[in-house]
Structure 1
């Protein structure tokens, strides 16, 4: 009876309720290091105005982010976050955080503090996306604009869904980073988020002064700073040690099966440009131990369709198809080679060789585990690429104006 009464009292109350109109929802956050102080910059979702009225008709304005920014400093990130409570009329709610950004200075110092902060707070989720910035991440959160989404968090969430169709980008979540850093190699890769200027249609009613022809001059287009991915950062343990450019990032992505789609711009037998759309990519990383030497092997198989041609190459002929497949294989091999060279120079095994060695040769792994970084830097690696052109779109022969054959 006593147990039943206690359970009934606890289950029937509203002592832990959280009213929506008393909460401020995280959308994204930036973690920076400034001297000895930690800087936490938070983007909160701005509540919609009561009554649901729109922005009104008539004169258009630049798209306004539906967000409020708060940036605070402290000896720790938790202290900085609590400083924000001094000017926040609502309780911060973290469970809806879409993404976190880590500034370059913080990344070089070590992201362990950031990961610990996220992992120890119950409201944060390990599915939160994580990215890197060149320079302070605070600037990206404050200055980012967008005409499609209302806040930076939603913008990054959209990028996460669609960026892999290019092959140049990927966005991991916090759990992926924990998994990588706790693995045999202790290395990971974080994509770089940057702001790029993009044109925005001119505002209505902003025609210039009367011109020489009697009419008003054309209004000038505005410019937005929109978020985009550009390259990645290599981490050894929890510290940023090197950068990858866009091509090197895709080279790494081929090997780690991050490429869902990609476009390869190649030359046909006549020297004209063609675009091959990669529709399937599968890769495998292997190691072999023989005669006291560890060797690595990367195997990649890709399939694609021809979707654009600038010349007059007839791809119904087998030799034309074979030549294009060889060109595709050479291009992918070059991208992987550049990425591998950068990773070996930095001593960051982000290709999975350490894990492959541990699984296949556990005794050998125990012998080289403590100096694997040095072993990886001199690891000989062979790269095998198999490319297949499956289709040439809706036609095999290009259009020849004038009716020529």
Structure 2
């Protein structure tokens, strides 16, 4: 009997050691939840300026008095030779311990991006709190701290507003896509170059930090998703804007939905087509030592608007519109590839595709792939189809005589 009791006591003690999950617990009211991180250079000096966007619990709590007039975020910055050192130094200004498990956004200043970002993401892979699925943006024409300080409409948390803005334009316009810390690390370590979404400030950045700037129906200050930053060997070397950005996403098979305007018999670009499906297939080969990029895009859309008379009951009219969609898509793809070749940056993963399918041919051009890519030939085919024209085949707009 005594042996059974001793065994039971030993089991209970063993379980207590294994199940003691709260040994390093931290109370919520002792934490400062970081929603966004901005990283900038130190004006030529070695090290980083790291800015933390912290959620202000007082602004969202059901309290009265001065607390209700506080902004929804608090900005804390620190400088150090390393990002981790800046993180620890921030404790001198923060009344609570910084907590990074809910960080949604990592913002890189343009000057830092130009000098190189290969080393700043090392801490994200080593830390158990920093998240690899946090979105990454590059501040265009300004530093990261200025963007993080902006207050936003509709969304209480500015970092969440930037994240949703990126997701929204990615899902319905197609010039951007969600890029995470994990994607950037893969781009740095891969054979090809890569891109990161850009964001710029519209209006006076200082005014955008004041809560009163939001007390109008049309705020004069805000942020705007703007193009793709092109990175080669971890350094920002240029920007892709407008059609170049969307052409890049088409090649990368990252267009979920977008809108294309084509010509009608009466006017230019007054027929709006909503592209709801797009699929891209890429094949790369060497032909007489020169790379050939075979790109096949198949897309389907719905005709949403016509500005002039278009007789959609005629099959030849539909074929003409489908041809216009294909030509518009092909023009943007060719522009994107041409711009990338001028920069000698393979942002389309052509090198990785050649390495995967033809490893022996890849070994022949691996050492000078940038030059080989710049001389490559694009073999492009675009098939476009209209799947619906709405409820009216002949619009009420009369044809011009």
The answer to whether TM tops 0.5 is: yes
Q: Which residue of 1 aligns with 2:382?
A: 385
> Alpha carbons of 1:151 and 1:387: their partners in 2 closer, same or farther (altered >3 Å)?
same
Could you tell me how far apart the structure 1 residues matched to 2:290 and 2:345 are? 20
For these two proteins, the number of residue pairs brought into alignment is 377
Q: Which residue of 2 aligns with 1:394?
A: 391
| Residue of 65, 74, 85 corresponding to 1:79 | 85
Q: Which residue of 1 aligns with 2:145?
A: 138
Do residues 19 (structure 1) and 27 (structure 2) align?
yes
Q: Are the aligned partners of 1:285 and 1:351 in contact in 2 as well (CA < 8 Å)?
A: no
Equivalent residue runs for 1:3-402 within 5 Å: 5=13, 7-9=15-17, 11-12=19-20, 14-34=22-42, 35-36=44-45, 37-48=47-58, 52-53=62-63, 65-134=71-140, 135-142=142-149, 144-164=150-170, 165-185=172-192, 187-197=193-203, 223-271=219-267, 273-400=270-397
What is the deviation of 1:195? 2.2
Could you tell me how far apart the structure 1 residues matched to 2:369 and 2:232 are? 12
CA deviation map 1:43-72 (0-9, x unaligned): 00110458624899xxxx9x9751100122
Q: Which residue of 1 aligns with 2:210?
A: none
Could you tell me how far apart the structure 2 residues matched to 1:179 and 1:93 are? 26
What is the deviation of 1:241? 1.4
Could you tell me how far apart the structure 2 residues matched to 1:55 and 1:163 are? 38
Give the TM-score normalised by structure 2. Answer: 0.87
Q: Are the aligned partners of 1:269 and 1:320 in contact in 2 as well (CA < 8 Å)?
A: no
Where is the helix percentage greater, Structure 1 or Structure 2?
Answer: 2
Q: Are the aligned partners of 1:145 and 1:224 in contact in 2 as well (CA < 8 Å)?
A: no
Q: Which residue of 2 aligns with 1:211?
A: none
Q: What runs of 5+ residues in structure 2 fail to find an aligned partner?
A: 1-6, 205-214
CA deviation map 1:360-391 (0-9, x unaligned): 21111112111111111111112111111111
> Alpha carbons of 1:221 and 1:358: their partners in 2 closer, same or farther (altered >3 Å)?
closer
CA deviation map 1:63-107 (0-9, x unaligned): 975110012222222222222101211111001000010011111
CA deviation map 1:278-328 (0-9, x unaligned): 010011111123344331111111111110111111111112111111111
Runs of 4 or more above 4 Å deviation: 1-4, 53-56, 219-222
SS of 1:31's equivalent in the other structure is strand
Could you tell me how far apart the structure 1 residues matched to 2:293 and 2:333 are? 13
> Alpha carbons of 1:222 and 1:159: their partners in 2 closer, same or farther (altered >3 Å)?
closer
